[in-house]
């Protein structure tokens, strides 16, 4: 059995533009529906949504027949939880609130087998290795890992150059909402100072040769951030897509009938 290749990482290294959306409904059926929408990647959220390694597994299985590329956002930096995500088959992790090179280096080590890291060995129980079915899994696993660190605070911005210098960090994702709060503009990710800080960070990430990502809520911002250097963008949230469509439908029919 062949090692599954990390298509998200391949596209990242090639500089391809990847447009994606958050998955927060924690449901494999809805994840499969989103997989048919024509998006390049989907971000299963384990930070603000109530996903667990078990629910992530079910969504990965539902997404597997489709060309969409899965990424998982973790709750925190916990190495034991990261190990579980990797063992169920996650190859690309986005880790929130990274504020130093030391934190980034610890995350690199959590995603790699010794001697390069501290990932525990349990391939007989791991979907990632197809339960010891992947030939030479240990020789290939580290290379297929993709680490995206999320910079979303003033401290993270201050440490950005040091974070970018860490070998094994493949990309940096800028979180405008938390960054806005950290800069004193809570609830105002579109504030000019926040947008300027995001654009500057994206340009610095791009100049380093690593992938730059961002959350953009409208096409104008997405185009501007792409021009600043972002190559992978989150542009929607499944929960909000459902709610907004439901609200629009309710208002439309109530207006027509009443």
- The residues annotated with a catalytic role in the active site are 48
C-alpha separations of 40 from 12, 33, 192, 244 in Å: 11, 14, 29, 22
- Contact assessment for residue 46 and residue 74, using Cβ atoms and an 8 Å cutoff: yes
Nearest to 90 by CA among 40, 141, 134: 141
- Contact assessment for residue 194 and residue 222, using Cβ atoms and an 8 Å cutoff: no
Q: For residues 216 and 236, what is the distance between their CA atoms, to the nearest angstrom?
A: 8
Neighbours of 66 (CB within 10 A): 16
**Beta strand 146-151 pairing with 92-95:** parallel
Neighbouring residues of 16: CB distance < 8 A, sequence distance ≥ 6:
40, 231
- Contact assessment for residue 101 and residue 122, using Cβ atoms and an 8 Å cutoff: no
- Contact assessment for residue 85 and residue 72, using Cβ atoms and an 8 Å cutoff: yes
- Contact assessment for residue 100 and residue 108, using Cβ atoms and an 8 Å cutoff: no
Q: For residues 67 and 107, what is the distance between their CA atoms, to the nearest angstrom?
A: 27
């Amino acid at each position: 059995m062949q090692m599954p290749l990390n298509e998200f990482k391949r596209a990242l290294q090639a500089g391809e533009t990847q447009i994606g959306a958050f998955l927060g409904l924690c449901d494999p059926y809805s994840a499969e529906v989103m997989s048919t929408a024509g998006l390049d990647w989907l971000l299963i959220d384990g930070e603000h949504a109530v996903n667990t390694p078990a629910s992530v597994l079910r969504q990965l299985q539902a997404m597997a027949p489709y060309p969409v590329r899965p990424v998982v956002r973790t709750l925190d930096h916990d190495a034991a939880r990261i190990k579980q995500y990797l063992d169920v088959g996650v190859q690309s992790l986005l880790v929130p609130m990274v504020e130093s090179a030391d934190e980034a280096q610890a995350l690199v080590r959590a995603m790699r087998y010794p001697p390069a890291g501290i990932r525990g060995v349990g391939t007989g129980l791991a979907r990632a290795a197809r339960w010891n079915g992947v030939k030479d899994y240990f020789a290939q696993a580290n290379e297929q890992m993709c680490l995206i660190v999320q910079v979303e605070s003033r401290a993270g911005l201050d440490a950005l150059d040091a974070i970018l210098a860490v070998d094994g960090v493949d990309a940096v994702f800028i979180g405008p909402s938390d960054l806005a709060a950290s800069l004193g503009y809570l609830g105002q990710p579109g504030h000019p100072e926040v947008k300027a800080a995001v654009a500057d960070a994206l340009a610095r990430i791009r100049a380093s040769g690593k992938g730059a990502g961002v959350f953009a809520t409208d096409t104008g911002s997405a185009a501007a951030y792409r021009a600043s250097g972002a190559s992978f963008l989150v542009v929607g949230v499944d929960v909000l897509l459902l709610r907004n469509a439901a609200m629009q439908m309710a208002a439309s029919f109530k207006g027509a009938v009443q």
